[in-house]
Amino acid sequence: MDLPMFPEYSSEIDAVRDMVNRFMEAEIKPVMDGYEQRREFPRELVRKAGEAGLYGAVFPESVGGSNMGYLAAAVIQEEMVRNDVRFSSCNNQQGSTCPSAIYFGGTPEQIEKYVPNLVAGKTIGMMSLTESGGGSDAAGNMKTFARRDGDVYRITGQKMWASMANETDVGVLLAKTDRDAGAKGVTAFIVHPKKFPGWQATPIECLGLSKSMRTNIVYLDDFVVPVEDRLGEEGEGFKIIMRTLQPGRVGVAAKALGVARRCFEEAVRYANERTLRGQPIGRFQMIQSDIAEMTCAIEASRSLVYKAAMMMDASMAHNRMAAIAKFHASQTAKFCADKAMQIFGGYGLAEEYPVSYYRAYADMFFTGEGSANVQKIMIAEDALGYKLADRHHGKTGLRDIRKDDPSKAR
Ligand SMILES: Cc1cc2nc3c(=O)[nH]c(=O)nc-3n(C[C@H](O)[C@H](O)[C@H](O)COP(=O)(O)OP(=O)(O)OC[C@H]3O[C@@H](n4cnc5c(N)ncnc54)[C@H](O)[C@@H]3O)c2cc1C
């Protein structure tokens, strides 16, 4: 399955792929089941992954990154997920949403203070946009409110599905500062849940997802954020987070590709091992049909994910391609998880076989960071000429990770 599709990138990308596989094999696979059984957050493993450079691919060296780019970051996500999807649960918080939002919208001082420690895995990140009123209309339904009180904001409300919020040292949280201004009333804040009172994170029990790296409801009761920790200007938060979610979407697409590939590999192995009527079930034509369809879907997804990543590396308009890649790859992940379950028969439901929990992650990546329907709306409205997906490209006034110097004000 590891065909070098883009020869000009292949040797560097192959080296990245090998490095991730070696790291996961040596450092994560032998111990991750133990963390899951103990329901213990693997802080030490996150630090090791940070040290190995698994979170910093898109960031410049001046802020602790490796400057390898979005294609390398996509391959890292793909291989981490393929090896152990549970350990990849905090990848976005360490290497995408949280540090990227700070990079896109922050001051040079904020970037210097927070981004290096996040990508090094030394501090645990978080990004909290969603509320119970509906993630697909996050700005419209946002109730959490930040009230200015002298040198601080006091935030009250409730956030939903905030991954790692029970462990985070530094995160990005979105709240309204003007209830009547719609998306323009949303402001982004850098938050320190361990430093200030008024933050309570309660993990949500999710079927099939990691028990050690959790997603949470966050209850905020006059939670304090110093004014200097506001990210961007008041009212700029939604713009910052939408910009952050564009590359984030390609990262989720790459994760979905990792799910599809692991399900495929498990299915191939099992189809060769399991014998019925005196032959491996892989000899049955209907099983072969499933394997062929999975192969084609994965290759198509991989082309789209890598293309979107390379467009980001070239600082090209990429929102439309990111939506296409995310929709296709997450649909492929669900398709492959479903096919793998069928090939496994009843054993697919047994927890000792990873397809049982890879299927849950396929569902998560179908919905998270922009649901499948939301991606389809974006793709169709662009195609019909109602709303071009790339209409804001280059016009946001935010920093570009691949182009702009982080030590200069934006
Ligand atoms: C495990 C997990 C971890 C998460 N981590 C985070 C996190 O760290 N930070 C964070 O901010 N959020 C996080 N999320 C939230 C995630 O991004 C949202 O679940 C997602 O945006 C969808 O929101 P929703 O679940 O409220 O569904 P809804 O927005 O209520 O959507 C419900 C259904 O309606 C469909 N729909 C919505 N609008 C339309 C439309 N216009 N036309 C047709 N259909 C439509 C959707 O596709 C979906 O099928 C996480 C979610 C999960 C499950």
Q: Which domains does the chain have, with CATH numbers?
A: 7-119 (1.10.540.10), 127-235 (2.40.110.10), 239-384 (1.20.140.10)
Tokens standing for 243? 């910009």
What pLDDT sits at residue 3? 44
Answer whether 141 contacts ligand 1 (Cβ < 6 A): no
Question: Is residue 299 annotated as a catalytic residue, yes or no?
Answer: no
What pLDDT sits at residue 222? 98
Cβ neighbours, 10 Å, residue 235: 17
* Helix ranges restricted to H, 219-284: 237-273
- The upper half-sphere exposure of residue 152, i.e. CA atoms within 13 Å in the direction of its Cβ, equals 10
CA distances from 407 to 112, 160, 229, 233, 244 (A): 8, 34, 17, 18, 19
Nearest ligand 1 atom to the CA of 136 is 29
What pLDDT sits at residue 7? 53
Answer whether 364 contacts ligand 1 (Cβ < 6 A): yes
Residue 53, classed as helix, strand or coil, is: coil
Using only C-alpha atoms, the chain has a radius of gyration, in whole angstroms, of 21
Tokens standing for 242? 């939408």
Measure the CA–CA gap between 168 and 194, rounded to whole angstroms: 8
Q: Which of 131, 167, 369, 381 is catalytic?
A: 369
Q: How do the pLDDT tens digits run along the chain, 410 residues long? A: 444 455 556 788 999 999 999 999 999 999 999 999 999 999 999 999 999 999 999 999 999 999 999 999 999 999 999 999 999 999 999 999 999 999 999 999 999 999 999 999 999 999 999 999 989 999 999 999 999 999 999 999 999 999 999 999 999 999 999 999 999 999 999 999 999 999 999 999 999 999 999 999 999 999 999 999 999 999 999 999 999 998 899 999 999 999 999 999 999 999 999 999 999 999 999 999 999 999 999 999 999 999 999 999 999 999 999 999 999 999 999 999 999 999 999 999 998 899 999 999 999 999 999 999 999 999 999 999 999 999 999 999 999 898 888 999 98
Measure the CA–CA gap between 245 and 138, rounded to whole angstroms: 13
Tokens standing for 175? 């709240």
Tokens standing for 82? 């393929």
Which pTM does this prediction carry?
0.96
Mutate to test the pocket of ligand 1, among 136, 174, 245 (most ligand atoms within 8 A of CB): 136
CA torsion sign for 155, 159, 163, 167 is positive
Please tell me the distance between residue 126's alpha carbon and the centre of ligand 1 in angstroms.
17
